[in-house]
Structure 1
């Protein structure tokens, strides 16, 4: 998520794809979201372009399925 927030979109997608593969997998994510697995794989591929709605939906499912909750904090710039 840090990479995405820092504007490193390609790196953020790659890390999120790896996290999905390492945790619930794309088949389970597909079932939870009601979207085809290939669509989700493309979304997080090198030329993927997910909408905010799709990205937040994925994050919501990952949080529910893994028990890991994301928290956003305000921090001073370095």
Structure 2
């Protein structure tokens, strides 16, 4: 029998030890969101929050209740654009990386 490990634990450890992996996840979340796929970016952001700051610190950074943030970043969450932008900004600041998103349809690039 093969030994397995929880995927979420693996992601948390990799984000904490590899800044380029964390940046790639953030870039992918932004790219997916800009290309009309809202569910996966919410889940990626949730994993990044759990790996970097936790929902309490995110709550302090965004002035939003942590329970609301948990709901927003759940598979069925539906955050407003303002709230999602605040979450992206907080994760971006916490990671201290550049954000690069690519729109497939328009072949344009957004860099923050």
Q: Establish whether TM, by shorter chain, passes 0.5.
A: yes
CA RMSD of aligned residues (A): 1.8
Higher relative strand content = 2
2:47 aligns with 18
TM-score normalised by structure 2 residue count: 0.60
Structure 1 runs (4+) greater than 4 angstroms displaced: none
Which of 1 and 2 has greater Rg? 2
Are the counterparts in 2 of residues 24 and 66 from structure 1 also a CA contact under 8 Å?
no
- Equivalent position to 2:92, from 54, 57, 63: 63
Conserved 8 A contact 2:48-2:91: no
TM-score by length of structure 1 reads 0.82
Q: Which runs of 5+ in 1 are unaligned?
A: none
